[in-house]
Homo-oligomer: A and B are copies of this chain.
Amino acid sequence: MQVTKTLDYAVRSLTYIGHEPIVKHSMKEISEHQHIPLNYLAKIMRRLVKKGIVRSMVGPYGGYTLRKAPGDISLRDIYEAIEGEIRIVDCMDGNGICQLHEACPQLPVWDRVQLSMVKILEETTLEQMLSDRGIRGFTRVN
């Protein structure tokens, strides 16, 4: 139940690019400024490209730019590009049927949790994150 480092990398890369949406930003540049391992970043960017979140240009002075307006990129988009479909419980077989042949008392709760999470992720756009001044590394745990 944790945000993966990979997703964090992705969001950081996108906010970095989003600050200068016109300019092309190379992986090398992003990697250095955001302290993300270059080769690993490559994997991440690939997924963002495939999902149509960023555009890539090869060659000298190549790099990445956003493909959509920051207001049109939701955190949900980013999440799903990186992690795939959101599914906080994984208790079903291929047919979506619970292995236990009994009623499952937990599902309703997890469902609620997931729905509320998806809602927040969906409402939050890259634009919002960019304008959020962002409290300097501090968060309540509770």
- Where the two chains meet, the residues of A that have a C-beta atom closer than 8 Å to any C-beta of B are 1-4, 8, 11-12, 15, 34-35, 75, 83, 85-92, 96-100, 102-118, 120-121, 124, 129-130, 132-142
Contact = CB atoms under 8 A, between A and B. Distances in A.
A3 B75 contact: no
Nearest to A118: B142
A87 B141 contact: yes
Contacts of A1: 1-4, 83, 86, 88
Given A2-B88, A109-B129, 18 more contacts: A1-B1, A3-B89, A3-B91, A8-B89, A34-B100, A86-B141, A92-B137, A92-B139, A96-B139, A97-B137, A97-B138, A103-B133, A105-B134, A107-B139, A109-B124, A111-B140, A116-B116, A117-B117
Give the number of times this chain occurs in the complex, counting copies. 2
A140 to B, nearest CB: 7
A28 B12 CA distance: 48
A45 B2 CA distance: 23
Contact of A116 (B2, B85, B120): B120
